[in-house]
């Protein structure tokens, strides 16, 4: 896609240099064809990725930026029709202006979604604070909502009216488009993450597993699992029972979780005790009690599993909002594992999903930097080209 984009940009520059007004319709048609091809590629890649490995950063990019490309494509098709009907009115400036303002336009089109999403996020956070108390981690959703709405309002106010010399207007537009490009990137990431999380949370693994990792998340002061952790264990037990009923195959539980500074025993030991109380034989439980993070959950559990059967099929159980990032961690340690999500209270999921989204932003920094830099460079070039 990058090669195609470079090729299209080269042709555009050539056409503009040779006389943009005479080539307005070919330029618009070329851009529309490129956008359509890129959109098809992203959609096809998205479904292929879901089938091959749903826990991939690519899933976020494919879905998030597909919506953006769709909006730009529709607008260019409308412009192409106008160029055909009234070529004396709609000229090359309309085409370049659409490209230049594409990020701003997408912000405008997605504003209703952003406002509704932010309102719903605030409502869920208020309920979370009432049930779980006032902690910084419990207001992340409200903070994100404020930033999303503030971004939309700022761009509207900043771009509402401008006057001055051509140079001053160009600088103003450059700042506005760069801000919109930054907002666009994070909005696409957010939408892509929401879709990826939802798909991962709904996935049901095939009933042919040899091992099932249960990811720890905290225990009570008396050493019993917290409600969140108990939900994960119960989800794992239901899957094991279903697999036994359908195929007659038993699986081995891997209880994964170390001991925190305020915990009387390790999360692994607490989970094992709970499984034994539910009638699971001790020989079908493997303890992993060193991990302190999701990445270590997967890394150390893999070591335990491979010591028994390197070819075994693996699944993992966690809370619904945590499935996607857990799958990413499994992939990082080169372990093929599919996840299942335990339900949680409605007011807990949105804020927890925000935490997962923030966690995703801290990973794959090089890939994110390349895409982010590409967006910035694109809008800088378009601004200079437009005011040429």
**Which of 216, 328, 346, 231 is CA-nearest to residue 272?**
216
Q: Give the H or E element holding residue 81.
A: helix 57-85
* 8 Å CB contact between 318 and 205: no
DSSP 8-state assignment for residue 20: T
pLDDT band at 21 (very low <50, low <70, confident <90, very high): low
Please tell me the least confidently modeled range out of 28-32, 110-114, 247-251, 320-324.
28-32
Q: Are strands 252-256 and 337-342 parallel, antiparallel or unpaired?
A: unpaired
Please tell me the least confidently modeled range out of 136-150, 181-195, 309-323.
136-150
More confident residue, 13 or 296: 296
Give the per-residue pLDDT at 148: 92
Burial class (CB in 10 A: 0-12, 13-18, 19+), 275: buried
**Which of 32, 53, 7, 64 is CA-nearest to residue 332?**
53
Question: Which residues, in sequence order, are bridge partners of residue 215?
Answer: 256
324-351 mean pLDDT = 88
User: d(Cα 34, Cα 46) in Å, to the nearest integer?
Assistant: 18
pTM: 0.82
User: d(Cα 231, Cα 225) in Å, to the nearest integer?
Assistant: 9
Alpha helices in 265-364 (DSSP H): 267-277, 294-308, 323-332, 348-361
174-195 mean pLDDT = 89
pLDDT in tens, 93-149: 677 778 888 888 899 889 999 999 899 888 888 888 887 777 777 788 888 899 999
**Average pLDDT across the chain, whole number:** 86
Domain boundaries, the chain: 1-100, 110-202+348-388, 211-344
Above 80 in pLDDT, residue 388?
Answer: no
Above 60 in pLDDT, residue 207?
Answer: yes
pLDDT band at 15 (very low <50, low <70, confident <90, very high): low
DSSP 8-state assignment for residue 224: P
pLDDT in tens, 217-228: 889 999 999 999
**Which of 324, 294, 318 is CA-nearest to residue 55?**
324
User: d(Cα 384, Cα 23) in Å, to the nearest integer?
Assistant: 19
Record the tokens describing residue 167, joined without a space: 């140079």
More confident residue, 357 or 210: 210
* 8 Å CB contact between 217 and 257: yes
Q: Which CATH class is domain 211-344?
A: alpha beta
Please tell me the least confidently modeled range out of 33-42, 53-62, 83-92, 228-237.
83-92
27-34 mean pLDDT = 80
Q: At which residue do the structure tokens 């989970």 appear? A: 271
Rounded-to-5 percentages of helix, strand, coil across the chain: 70, 5, 20
């Amino acid at each position: 896609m990058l090669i195609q984009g470079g090729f299209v940009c080269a042709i555009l520059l050539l056409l503009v240099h040779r006389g943009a007004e005479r080539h307005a319709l070919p330029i618009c048609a070329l851009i529309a064809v490129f956008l359509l091809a890129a959109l098809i590629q992203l959609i096809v890649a998205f479904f292929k990725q879901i089938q091959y490995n749903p826990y991939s950063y690519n899933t976020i990019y494919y879905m998030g930026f597909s919506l953006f490309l769709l909006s730009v494509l529709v607008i260019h098709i409308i412009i192409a029709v106008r160029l055909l009907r009234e070529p004396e009115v709609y000229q090359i400036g309309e085409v370049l202006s659409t490209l230049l303002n594409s990020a701003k336009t997408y912000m405008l089109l997605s504003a209703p979604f952003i406002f509704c999403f932010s309102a719903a996020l605030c409502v869920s956070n208020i309920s979370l604070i009432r049930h779980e108390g006032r902690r910084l981690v419990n207001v992340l959703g409200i903070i994100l909502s404020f930033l999303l709405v503030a971004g939309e309002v700022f761009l509207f106010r900043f771009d509402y009216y401008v006057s001055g010399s051509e140079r001053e207007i160009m600088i103003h537009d450059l700042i506005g488009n760069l801000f919109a490009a930054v907002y666009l990137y994070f909005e696409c990431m957010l939408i892509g993450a929401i879709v990826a999380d939802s798909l991962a949370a709904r996935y049901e693994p095939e009933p042919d597993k040899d091992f099932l990792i249960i990811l720890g998340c905290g225990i009570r002061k008396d050493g019993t699992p917290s409600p969140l952790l108990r939900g994960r264990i119960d989800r794992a037990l239901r899957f094991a029972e279903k697999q036994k009923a359908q195929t007659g195959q038993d699986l081995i539980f891997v209880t994964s979780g170390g001991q925190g500074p305020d915990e009387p025993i390790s999360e692994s030991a607490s989970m094992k005790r709970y499984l034994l109380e539910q009638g699971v034989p001790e020989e079908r439980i493997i303890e992993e009690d060193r991990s302190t993070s999701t990445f270590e959950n997967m890394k150390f559990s893999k070591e335990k599993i491979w010591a028994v059967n390197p070819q075994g099929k693996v699944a993992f159980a966690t809370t619904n909002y945590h499935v996607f990032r857990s799958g990413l961690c499994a992939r990082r340690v080169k372990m093929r594992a599919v996840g299942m999500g335990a339900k949680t209270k409605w007011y807990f999921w949105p804020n927890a999903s925000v935490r997962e989204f923030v966690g995703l932003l801290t990973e794959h920094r090089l890939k994110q930097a390349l895409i982010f830099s590409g967006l910035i460079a694109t809008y800088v070039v378009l601004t200079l080209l437009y005011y040429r």
